Amino acid sequence: MRILTLIFLLSFYLNGFAQYAPAAGEEGSTAIYKDSSIIIGWATNCIVKRGYINIEDTSQTYTQGEITSNKAFFGNDTLALGKANGIMDVVSLGDGGNAIVTFNKPIKNGNDADFVIFENGFQVQSPPNQYFLELAFVEVSSDGINFVRFPAVSLTQTNTQLGGFDQLDPTKIHNLAGKYIANYGTPFDLEDIKDSANINIDSVLYVKIIDVVGNINPQYASYDSESNIINDPWNTPFWSCGFDLDAVGVIHYKDFDNINTINNENCISIYPNPINNGNNFKIKFKEKNTAIKKINIYNLTGKLVYSKTTNKNIININSSKFDKQLYILQIKFKNSIITKKIIIQ
């Protein structure tokens, strides 16, 4: 009995006091500043699926200007593209909302972190925790269909619900985006998911960021990889609620040997766009001596809805079999990929 008691106490101590990397600027922090030379690229496309402003009461709305909605509506998907720019240059996901970002080239598993995600958290003056942070799960995919989630841990207490403007301790957070304040990104290492199925960690084309619902009510709660409820500031029933995605930076691109990578996305034209449902639209590649090899079209959930293998520079597609919504168009060449957005209306 005494041995069992000691084991229990040891387990309680380790779980209650275990620490992960501290806040940005502190010794041992893993935070990556937005101007770091190790960041070699940024997301080029983003599709956002908004969550509610209050998942417990989906009828609750918020009004800003001429817009009234029961879902987050601050920012737009283009604000998650390119370099991190700080507090206001973000798109808010809402309770449980998500964003899928894509890149010109695949991300690979290199040494240490492979990509980094930026949010707009901030430091406050009152101790003990001092950091207003909003968290998100992170998943990756090689094909846009199968997504693998990074194992994440939250050791924040779950006895008392954090209020909408309460703070978190970064040392209790691991592998959750939003661990660090604005302009300092949270790194992710593909080595962490090397044993996962349905993923090629040397060819990641999609990163999915999913808002953690900070509600500790089990009916609405988000759980980490160790089945802990994640407690973060909640509720925040405003247009800017939930995780605020600023940017996704790339640290390791997949290496290509003896190729001419296509960097100019203006070489692709799509006409018309938006597309009236039932009409044809044309995809044209303007550069010579290089042909399109494959066209893939994905819906907002990442499901492949159209695929065509080709070896031409001009492709015509009829939109009659598509629903009226936004899609991700993926254009594959021999050794590179360009992604665009199309709208069927």
Mean pLDDT, residues 142-160 taken together: 95
* Contact between 283 and 265 (Cβ < 8 Å): no
Band of residue 4 on the pLDDT scale cut at 50, 70, 90: very low
Q: What pTM did the predictor assign?
A: 0.74
Structure confidence by residue, pLDDT tens digits, 152-186: 999 999 999 999 999 999 999 999 999 999 999 99
Q: Are residues 57 and 167 in the same domain?
A: yes
Per residue, what are the HEC states of 75-100?
CCHHHHCCCCCCCCCCEECCECCEEE
Question: How far is 225 from 314, CA to CA, in rounded Å?
Answer: 46
Q: Which of 250, 273, 296 is the last residue of a domain?
A: 250
Quick one: tokens of 50? 């908004």
Tell me which of 49-53, 65-69, 146-150, 298-302 is least confident: 298-302
pLDDT cut 70: percent of the chain above it: 89
Mean pLDDT, residues 306-332 taken together: 88
Q: Exposed/middle/buried for 16, CB within 10 Å: 0-12, 13-18, 19+?
A: exposed
Say if 234 falls within a structural domain.
Answer: yes
* Contact between 122 and 87 (Cβ < 8 Å): yes
Question: How far is 310 from 314, CA to CA, in rounded Å?
Answer: 10
Band of residue 279 on the pLDDT scale cut at 50, 70, 90: very high
CATH of residue 280's domain is 2.60.40.3080
Residue written as token pair 């938006």 = 274
Say if 13 falls within a structural domain.
Answer: no
Range of the domain at 243: 20-250
Structure confidence by residue, pLDDT tens digits, 210-235: 999 999 999 999 999 999 999 999 99
Q: Are residues 102 and 243 in the same domain?
A: yes
Q: Are residues 230 and 306 in the same domain?
A: no
Q: Are residues 106 and 143 in the same domain?
A: yes
Q: Are residues 48 and 167 in the same domain?
A: yes
* Contact between 133 and 96 (Cβ < 8 Å): no
Q: Which of 225, 250, 275 is the last residue of a domain?
A: 250
> Which of 18-32, 149-163, 275-289 is most confident?
149-163
Domain count, the chain: 2
Tell me which of 9-13, 82-86, 216-220, 226-230 is least confident: 9-13
State which H helix or E strand residue 141 sits in: strand 136-141
Mean pLDDT, residues 90-111 taken together: 94
